Structure 1
Amino acid sequence: MKTIKQLLQAKGYAIKSIGPEESVFDAMQLMAANNIGALLVMQDNKLVGILTERDFSRKSYLLDKPLKDTLVKEIMTHQVAYVTPDYTNKDCMALITEMRVRHLPVLDNDQVIGIISIGDLVKDTISEHQFIIHQLERYIYSTPR
């Protein structure tokens, strides 16, 4: 089973982030422009929260004010579930299921080095299963009958 370090090496380390004092309107524009479902909320190179589409859909309407006047810090998730590079896909799937989240920042010595989504984990799991199936098929068809 792959570690998150290996998964990030294949996927890439790029993250998209926004500051807590930025507007939710700007955050939604950034998400839309990058076709992503979450932004890491960073202040002074430190992870202070995460803003997801779920945060937006569930919290922004409660404030009853324009998106341009709503700050990221008002609707972001402050307590962020995260992983380190030595976690495995299986570890992350368990955490995502338990915490009911879709994105996990990857931290190494308190520094953000990437982000893993449930889509990344599912894609990796499918790839691993396809490899196993292929190996089993090769074994079956190469065995004399």
Structure 2
Amino acid sequence: MKVREILQQKASDIRTVKRSEKVVAAMEQLISHKISCLPVVEAGKLIGIISDKDIFKAVYENQGGFTNFTVGDLMTEDLIVGVEDDEIEYISNIITNNKIRHIPIVDEDKLVGLISIGDVVKATEKHIKAENRYLKQYIDGSYPG
């Protein structure tokens, strides 16, 4: 299964923030939309990502003095990204090996989607269930073909 197939099943509205926005504004989006990360986009180009973990770390390290920080102060810039033609197994390995929860999907530098570990699990489960159904039909002799 390709990343493209998962993106087609997801809502196309991707919440983003700008580098210059205050962290508090990013927190408001994370909470109100019940999400755990926001891609950082400038002039249509993906330049980073900020997650709830980045913010939690800043809260802990700065004991309340984080409210004046901008997204750019806390975001991760060294991104691991995928493309729509990537296989979901490849994305799963990237997420697992790098201990990340989300991977931005890009076309050149333009953000086209965001895949979460939950998306990977759902897609894998769906694929396994379909494969099991086909195998059972084959064994039972009811497989169309």
Q: CA deviation at 1:82?
A: 0.5
Distance 1:140 1:53 in 2: 47
Match of 2:101 in 1: 102
Point out where structure 2 has 5 or more consecutive residues left out of the alignment. Answer: none
TM-score by length of 1: 0.89
Root-mean-square deviation over aligned CA pairs:
1.6
Whether the aligned pair in 1 keeps the contact of 2:59 and 2:65 (CA below 8 Å) is no
SS at match of 2:94: helix
SS at match of 1:18: coil
Q: Which amino acid aligns with 2:4?
A: K
Distance 1:138 1:83 in 2: 35
Q: Deviations over 1:71-114 (max 9, x none)?
A: 11111111111101110100101111122111111101221111
Whether the aligned pair in 1 keeps the contact of 2:58 and 2:66 (CA below 8 Å) is no
Q: Deviations over 1:44-82 (max 9, x none)?
A: 221111011111122332134444312111111111111
SS at match of 1:69: coil
Match of 2:81 in 1: 82
Aligned pairs for 1:31-50 within 5 A: 31-50=30-49
Distance 1:99 1:10 in 2: 25
Residues matched between the structures, number = 142
Runs of 4+ in 1 over 6 A off after TM superposition: none
Q: Which amino acid aligns with 1:43?
A: E
Whether the aligned pair in 2 keeps the contact of 1:23 and 1:67 (CA below 8 Å) is no
The structure with more helix, counted as a fraction of residues: 1
Point out where structure 1 has 5 or more consecutive residues left out of the alignment. Answer: none
Q: Give percent identity, aligned residues only.
A: 28
